[in-house]
C-alpha cells in the first residue's frame, strides 16, 4: 500500500510539473553495475557486482538560468554474485532484485555552444517489486523467489532510501549521456540484528530530451 501510494504521488507530481514553462521530457536507458555491502557478525562480504538494465522517464524543470529540478521514475535491476571454491567444489550464488526507483535530482548546468555539461545530486526512493536467488554447486541448482518485508520469514526489506550523484552532457538536439552513482542508506535486512545490508550501484545511460508544450 505504501509503495502504491508513493508511486501515485510521484506520477501526479510528474504530470503537473510537466506543464511548467520550459520543461523537457526525457527517456533514458543503460546499464547498472550493482552490489550489496553486507556485514554480519563483524565480517564483511566480498561479493562481485552484477550487471543489469536500467531505464526510465524524467522531467527536466528549469528553476533558473543554470539550475533545474529533474524527478524521474526508473526501473533498475540490482543484485550481486559470489563464487566460492572449497574442497574442489565451486559454489556460485546470485541475487537479482527488480526495483522501481524515484530519484529527485537538482541539476547545475554549464551551457556551451553545442550543449551543456551538467552535474547533479538528490535523494532517491527505491521499491523492490520482485527478486530471485540462485545457488549452484556445478551439479545441483536451487532457485528461490525472494520475499520482501520486515519479518523473520522475509529475505529483504522492500523500501530503500538513498542518495544519487550524477554527471553528464546534453547536446542541443536533446541527445544526452550520463553516469550516476547511487548509494542506499537503508539497512535492507528484514529484522533487527547485528548485521547490515546496503545497496549501491554505478550506472551509465544514454537518453533523449524533448521540449514540452
Q: Is 89 among the domain residues?
A: no
Q: What is the pLDDT of residue 101?
A: 96
Domain harbouring 108, CATH code: 2.40.160.20
Q: What is the domain extent for residue 116?
A: 2-80+94-125+160-211
Inside any domain, residue 138? no
133 located within any domain:
no
Judge whether 147 lies within some domain.
no
Q: How many structural domains comprise the chain?
A: 1
Q: What is the per-residue pLDDT for 193? A: 67
Show the CA angle centred on residue 128, arms to residues 1 and 159, nearest 5°: 65
Domain annotation covers residue 16:
yes
CA–CA distance, 199 with 179 (Å, rounded to integer):
17
Q: For position 5, what pLDDT does the model report?
A: 46
In a domain, 191, yes or no: yes
Q: What is the pLDDT along the chain (213 residues), one digit of tens a residue?
A: 445 545 554 555 555 454 566 789 999 999 999 999 888 766 677 678 899 999 999 999 999 889 999 999 999 999 998 877 766 677 888 999 999 999 999 999 998 889 999 999 999 999 999 999 998 887 788 899 999 988 888 889 999 999 999 999 999 999 999 999 999 999 998 887 678 889 999 999 999 999 765
pTM: 0.84
DSSP readout, 165-206? EEEEEEETTSEEEEEEEEEE-S---SS--S-EEEEEEEEEEE
- Is 86 within the bounds of a domain? no
43 burial level (CB within 10 Å; 0-12, 13-18, 19+): exposed
Residue 154 lies in a domain: no
Amino acid at each position: 500500500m505504501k509503495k502504491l501510494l508513493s508511486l501515485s504521488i510521484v506520477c501526479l507530481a510528474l504530470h503537473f510539473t510537466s506543464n511548467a514553462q520550459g520543461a523537457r521530457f526525457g527517456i533514458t536507458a543503460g546499464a547498472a553495475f550493482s552490489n550489496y555491502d553486507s556485514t554480519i557478525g563483524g565480517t564483511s562480504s566480498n561479493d562481485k557486482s552484477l550487471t543489469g538494465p536500467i531505464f526510465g522517464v524524467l522531467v527536466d524543470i528549469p528553476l533558473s538560468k543554470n539550475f533545474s529540478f529533474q524527478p524521474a521514475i526508473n526501473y533498475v535491476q540490482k543484485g550481486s554474485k559470489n563464487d566460492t571454491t572449497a574442497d574442489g567444489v565451486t559454489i556460485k550464488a546470485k541475487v537479482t532484485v527488480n526495483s522501481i526507483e524515484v530519484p529527485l535530482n537538482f541539476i547545475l548546468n554549464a551551457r556551451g555552444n553545442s550543449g551543456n555539461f551538467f552535474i547533479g545530486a538528490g535523494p532517491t526512493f527505491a521499491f523492490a517489486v520482485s527478486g530471485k536467488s540462485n545457488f549452484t554447486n556445478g551439479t545441483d541448482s536451487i532457485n528461490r523467489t525472494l520475499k520482501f518485508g520486515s519479518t523473520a520469514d522475509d529475505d529483504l526489506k522492500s523500501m530503500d532510501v538513498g542518495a544519487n550523484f550524477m554527471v553528464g552532457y546534453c547536446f542541443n538536439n536533446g541527445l544526452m549521456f550520463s553516469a550516476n552513482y547511487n548509494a542506499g542508506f537503508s539497512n535492507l535486512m528484514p529484522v533487527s540484528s547485528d548485521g547490515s545490508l546496503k545497496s549501491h550501484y554505478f550506472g551509465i545511460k544514454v537518453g533523449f530530451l524533448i521540449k514540452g508544450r
